[in-house]
A and B are shown apart, each in its own frame.
Chain A
């Protein structure tokens, strides 16, 4: 079975602090995708990043960076110099199979980040 675990449910930081959101996944598939989505207070789900299981290079996009480690089944997300606009619920998700089969996107429970001024 596929499973995504976000152990932290809620984090509160002060603006300009760095914060890391943890994500651990379980799957028996050898190929899969991992995702992060952001849900701001307005409610929409915004795609942030997709990572192929065979590409373990870390990625940086502005203040955002992602650390994928297949050996520990983790796909952690770091926000550097956090800002109030980063306040949102962040979801990690797993798409279990690249080669046909189920197209289900399995989500973690989400982690609420509050950045205080």
Chain B
């Protein structure tokens, strides 16, 4: 079975540019999470969706960040305009389905974002 898919794996951009990160959750999962990992702050939750609806976006750092989930198999995290302090690894995770693993979040490979 395919795991969580994220693209791109690496992104280098210049300050002020728009950045869009993409995520495809595991098929059948009804929760999707976006995390950011930095050396200073560790792993922090930005936002999560349930059945494509944003449930908690309290971790989104500021209005420059936005996330959407137009359907059950696709989500985007957009940063506009990007700043050097946004440089981090962004992870997408999903959970749900049936069986014992419904409450376990499975993570994608991450997108390493560098803003120059």
A residues apposed to B, CB below 8 Å: 33, 35, 37, 43-47, 50, 91, 95, 98, 102-105, 107-110
**Nearest-CB distance from A48 to chain B (Å)?**
10
Q: Are A109 and B110 in contact (CB under 8 A)?
A: no
Q: Which 9 residue pairs across A and B have the least CB separation, nearest first?
A: A45-B107, A107-B43, A44-B109, A109-B42, A50-B104, A104-B45, A43-B110, A105-B105, A47-B104
Q: Are B43 and A44 in contact (CB under 8 A)?
A: no
For window 71-111 of B, CB contacts with A under 8 Å fall at: 89, 91, 93, 95, 103-110
**Nearest-CB distance from B3 to chain A (Å)?**
9
Interface centre among B50, B55, B105, by most chain A C-beta atoms within 10 angstroms, is: B105
Instruction: Give every chain B residue within 8 A of A43 (Cβ-Cβ).
Output: 89, 109-110, 112
Interface centre among A37, A105, A110, by most chain B C-beta atoms within 10 angstroms, is: A105
Docked pose: A91 CA to B44 CA in angstroms: 13
A107 — nearest CB in chain B belongs to which residue? B43
Which bucket holds chain B's interface residue count?
Answer: 20 to 34
Instruction: Give every chain A residue within 8 A of B109 (Cβ-Cβ).
Output: 43-44
Docked pose: A109 CA to B41 CA in angstroms: 8
Instruction: Give every chain A residue within 8 A of B48 (Cβ-Cβ).
Output: 103-104
Q: Are B110 and A103 in contact (CB under 8 A)?
A: no
Docked pose: A95 CA to B105 CA in angstroms: 10
B residues apposed to A, CB below 8 Å: 31, 33, 42-43, 45, 48, 50, 55-56, 89, 91, 93, 95, 103-110, 112
18 additional contacts, CB 8 Å, given A45-B91, A107-B42?
A33-B103, A37-B107, A43-B109, A43-B110, A44-B110, A45-B93, A45-B110, A46-B107, A47-B104, A47-B105, A47-B106, A91-B43, A95-B103, A103-B55, A103-B56, A104-B45, A105-B45, A109-B42
Summarize A's interface: helix, strand, loop or mixed.
loop
Instruction: Give every chain B residue within 8 A of A44 (Cβ-Cβ).
Output: 107-110
Q: Are A105 and B42 in contact (CB under 8 A)?
A: no
Instruction: Give every chain B residue within 8 A of A37 (Cβ-Cβ).
Output: 107
Instruction: Give every chain B residue within 8 A of A104 (Cβ-Cβ).
Output: 45, 48, 56
Contact pick for A105, options B33, B55, B89, CB 8 Å: B33
